[in-house]
Structure 1
Amino acid sequence: MLTIALEKASFHAFHGYYPEETIIGNEFILDISVRIPGTVPVDDLSETVNYQGIYEIAKAVMAIPKPLLEEVVYAITDALKSRYPNITHSHVTLRKMNPPMGAPIRNSMVSLEKDY
């Protein structure tokens, strides 16, 4: 298996269950990794997953506010598989920095791992 990943991509977005989160927004950190069959060396971009394409998917999904972070990670995995059908596994982790909980918490986190 060959793994292609983006780590700690940072976005200011408006995901959240509470109304103020959709107005103020928050900082989010996103980790995405995908696996494709990798039994032979890759020497052409068309034979792999372009990590710029992964970022474009992440940016597009992060721009659409959702009440639950679970919705966001599912939308990212669906878009990844749609654009890159050769993906056999994906792992998406989304962290909301300083969630508005009235307590000193660095981040909340939702992670989705899928085999295709």
Structure 2
Amino acid sequence: MIVSLHGAAFFAYHGFYAEEQKIGNHFLVDIDVEFTPAADTMEDNLDNTVNYEWLYDMVCEEMKINRKLIETVAQAVINQIVQQYPFAISVRVVLKKLNPLLGAKVGHSAVTLSYQKG
């Protein structure tokens, strides 16, 4: 089973350059968490799955911590997910920085980090 949260939008101050850390930027986050349910999903119990509301709230908190690299942010998100959901088989996080400061028109830059259990 995979629980996903895609297109979560944030404004944050991540960036290598001082200007990025001062003016901030818009970011989009996509998360996919694959797992085997510990119980029958027909039990209709939130404890038997990955809570995408928790995913959003956790990413909200991680985005508030200013970092130079979006790779670092994405890894922190994975670390939090694996800690909260030890039954996760794999986690994929895509973090997009919209309109990065490159001196050219670019839709976004992005990093994709993955975790695979075992």
- Provide the TM-score with structure 1 as the length reference: 0.95
* Corresponding residue number in structure 1 for 2:30: 31
Structure 1 residue runs of 4 or more that deviate by more than 6 Å after TM superposition: none
* Corresponding residue number in structure 2 for 1:107: 108
Q: Hey, what's the Cα distance between the residues in 2 that align with 1:66 and 1:53?
A: 22
- Provide the TM-score with structure 2 as the length reference: 0.93
One-letter amino acid of the structure 2 residue matched with residue 15 of structure 1: H
For 2:79, what is the secondary structure of its paired residue?
A: helix
RMSD: 1.2
Quote how far apart the aligned CAs of 1:8 are.
0.3
For 2:8, what is the secondary structure of its paired residue?
A: strand
One-letter amino acid of the structure 2 residue matched with residue 69 of structure 1: I
Post-superposition Cα deviations, 1:56-104, rounded to whole Å, max 9, x if no partner, equal 1111111101100110010000001111111110000000000000001
What aligned pairs does 1:47-86 form with structure 2 within 5 A after superposition?
Answer: 47-86=48-87
Shift of the 29–39 alpha-carbon distance from structure 1 to 2, 3 Å rule, reads same
Between the two proteins, what is the percent identity of the paired residues? Answer: 36
* Number of equivalences: 115
For 2:88, what is the secondary structure of its paired residue?
A: coil
